Amino acid sequence: MDSEFQENTSMMGKDHLESQRELYEESIPSNTNEEVIGPLQYGSEIVNEDTSQRNKEEDEEAKAVIDSISQGKVKLFKKAKFQAFSAAISHEDHVMKVQDHLDLNHSKPTNSVVAFRVVDPSSNTGISEGFDDDGEEGSGEKLLRLLQKLGVENVALIVCVWHNNMPGHLGTDFYRMVLERARDLLTALHNEVMQQENSSALGGEFVNNEAPTMERKTVESKVFNIAQAVDISKGKETTQSIKSDAHKKFLEDNSINFLPQVDKLTYKESVQNLEKAGKSLTKGHIREFLSFVRPEPIIGKLFQVIAMIKGYKNPNWSKCRDLLSNPTFKIELLSFRGRDYDSENVLKAFKIFESSAISFTQKSPRKKDFYQKFYEILPKISDGSVHVFDWIISFFKAYSGYSKFGDLQNDKIELGSDIGEITMRTKMMMRQEMKKNRKPKQIKIKQTALLSPEERADKDYYRFPDDQTEDKKTSQVKPNIGMFLQNKQMMFGDDSLIPEEGKKSSLIDYNALKRGANFLIDEEEELRKREQLEQEQADRRMIMEKNSKFKVENLPNKTELMLETLKDIDYEEQPLEVLIALAERLKKKRMDMFPDAQPM
């Protein structure tokens, strides 16, 4: 029994185990390996997609940085070439990419001075900045100070230098050239962006004369937003502003209304007064203004107005000093072209000027007695401030005239032609006056050898050289010139031909001396005739130089010049009274030369 029970139990156990094993195998699918590996494959695909997306964004960002690279003008100095490059960046790693791009597309420079500033919220100061001297100690630090001074952020600035000399051979001129190239490039970029902003604000549009611009990712910057590379090295403007109807309407609604109304004559006088005030402002006045750490409030306001006119936004005294230290500051004051100034900036400047004028003088610039009050205050502070005030007043009047009448280009051409005629006539009159009043300087020549005994006795004998030879020293002919034994006129004072020691020879060739004197006289006469011919030719050129109409007082008096004038004259352009006067003068000359001739 027991054995049978155990055997049955064992059989039941085996059957149970086999049945359980079959159930377990059925519960497990046949593709177990695929189900285990599947989730791992899906996770790797997610990681790869994130990596590719990140790489794509980095590539786009790097492309935007490369596209934002701008280059300045090349300048040669002592056999060294300087050129500045800038790029908009958002991370300091972009600096290396910009350098690599420049190395690939340009010849490798001897020195690459680098400075950058990037907004970094993780840093304590909020800005990440750095520099690289590249062998010229102190140059990178000075470049970084320039960026800090201008308040430029998210920009990398690189100045490349090519030369074949030892490092440091330029001395401090190296720093000056690096800063000059960098400042010029930043200024050009700033002006370009300001021009675009002003055009968009006034309803204008920009047309690129070169290839059409493509969409690109931009990198934000505090000072300017660079979305397009600007090539300054060509020295030409690649864009031109097209004034729209909205811009013209803005000029009509604002420029003419807020500025004092002027007529065309006042417009011309204002332009002349503007140039006069600019010339009156000397270098001493500019140095005086630059020496002010904190100027008088009225002086600060005057220069703030000028800075606003030039396009500065919210200028303080440090920016005004930068404007004054610009070498072209005075040159810019001497010329007025209304199209170079933005009407919105002029409007803001005039409002500041009017408000400050009322606060200082309790009077508005629109009132007549306003100027007198200002002229009482300014001379007590600085003489140069008076000229600055004159320039500002003349500028506002001139810009008001420009808004109403446009440029004075045609008037300037007419004025220039009048001045040219006056100058030519004045030169001829001065030459004639000089000929009449010229008294040749009398140079007395020693009469020992050049003259005969009769001429030598005449002590009043003088030579009159012309203007070209009066400053030449007349060399005295030595008494031993022309010692020819064959000459019959040679005089022998001794039996021996050789003089004693310490005594001069008495052998003199008078014929040779006279020939030399006659040669000098003939040469003087030839020079005098040549000068007279040159003066006549110059007068003829001055008369026939211009194709403008003749005037009666400008007609020549000499017959030869009259005939020469008749050859080249354009009878259709000449006034009738000029032709009549010319014919009458020729008739008079003919009657003087041939009195017996019948009158025509």
For 96-114, the pLDDT digits (tens) are 888 888 877 777 788 888 8
In this model, does residue 516 exceed pLDDT 70? no
Do 354 and 364 touch, CB atoms closer than 8 A?
yes
Task: Tell which CATH architecture fits domain 65-242.
Answer: 2-Layer Sandwich (3.30)
pLDDT in tens, 243-261: 344 444 444 444 444 566 7
In this model, does residue 239 exceed pLDDT 50? no
Q: 588 or 522: which carries more pLDDT confidence?
A: 588
Ranges of CATH 3.30.230.30 domains, the chain: 65-242
Do 270 and 394 touch, CB atoms closer than 8 A?
yes
In this model, does residue 480 exceed pLDDT 70? no
CA distances from 541 to 336, 434, 537 (A): 34, 19, 6
pLDDT of amino acid 220: 38
Going by pLDDT thresholds of 50, 70 and 90, the confidence category of residue 367 is: low
Interacting residues of 131 by C-beta distance below 8 A, sequence separation 6+: 113, 114, 115, 116, 140, 141, 143, 144
Q: 554 or 490: which carries more pLDDT confidence?
A: 554
In this model, does residue 124 exceed pLDDT 80? no
Of the listed ranges 2-6, 16-20, 202-206, the one predicted with least confidence: 202-206
Interacting residues of 129 by C-beta distance below 8 A, sequence separation 6+: 115, 116, 117, 118, 144, 147, 148
Do 421 and 429 touch, CB atoms closer than 8 A?
no
For the chain, the average pLDDT equals: 67
pLDDT of amino acid 283: 85
For the chain, how far is it from start to end, CA to CA, in angstroms?
A: 181
Q: Where are the beta strands (DSSP E) in 313-400?
A: none
**If you ran DSSP here, which 8-state letter would residue 219 be given?**
B
Q: 547 or 135: which carries more pLDDT confidence?
A: 135
What is the three-state SS of 490-537?
Answer: CCCCCCCCCCCCCCCCCCCCHHHHHHHHHHHHHHHHHHHHHHHHHHHH
pLDDT of amino acid 33: 43
**If you ran DSSP here, which 8-state letter would residue 310 be given?**
H
| Tokens linked to 541 | 């050129």
In this model, does residue 436 exceed pLDDT 80? no
For 240-249, the CB contacts below 8 A with 24+ separation are 240/206, 240/207, 240/209, 241/195, 241/199, 241/204, 241/206, 242/204, 242/205, 242/206, 242/207, 243/202, 243/204, 244/202, 244/203, 244/204, 244/205, 245/203, 246/202, 246/203, 246/204, 247/202, 247/203, 247/204
In this model, does residue 293 exceed pLDDT 70? yes
Amino acid at 162: W
Q: Where are the beta strands (DSSP E) in 332-452?
A: none
CA distances from 185 to 89, 141, 157, 230, 559 (A): 16, 18, 9, 10, 63
pLDDT in tens, 25-60: 554 444 444 444 444 444 445 445 556 666 666 777
pLDDT of amino acid 264: 81
The phi and psi torsions of 159 (rounded to 5 degrees) equal: -115, 115
CB atoms near residue 477 (< 10 Å): 18
The residue written with tokens 């055009």 in the block is 199
Ranges of CATH 1.20.920.60 domains, the chain: 245-407
**Could you tell me the sign of the dihedral formed by the alpha carbons of 73, 76, 77, 83, in that order?**
positive
Q: 384 or 190: which carries more pLDDT confidence?
A: 384
Average pLDDT, integer, range 507-531 = 64
Going by pLDDT thresholds of 50, 70 and 90, the confidence category of residue 186 is: confident
pLDDT in tens, 306-346: 888 888 888 888 888 888 888 888 888 887 777 778 888 88
pLDDT of amino acid 230: 40
pLDDT of amino acid 292: 84
Do 395 and 309 touch, CB atoms closer than 8 A?
yes
pTM of the model: 0.32
| Tokens linked to 500 | 């004693």
Interacting residues of 565 by C-beta distance below 8 A, sequence separation 6+: 543, 544, 555, 556, 582
Of the listed ranges 65-69, 425-429, 581-585, the one predicted with least confidence: 425-429
| Tokens linked to 499 | 């003089």
CATH of domain 245-407: 1.20.920.60
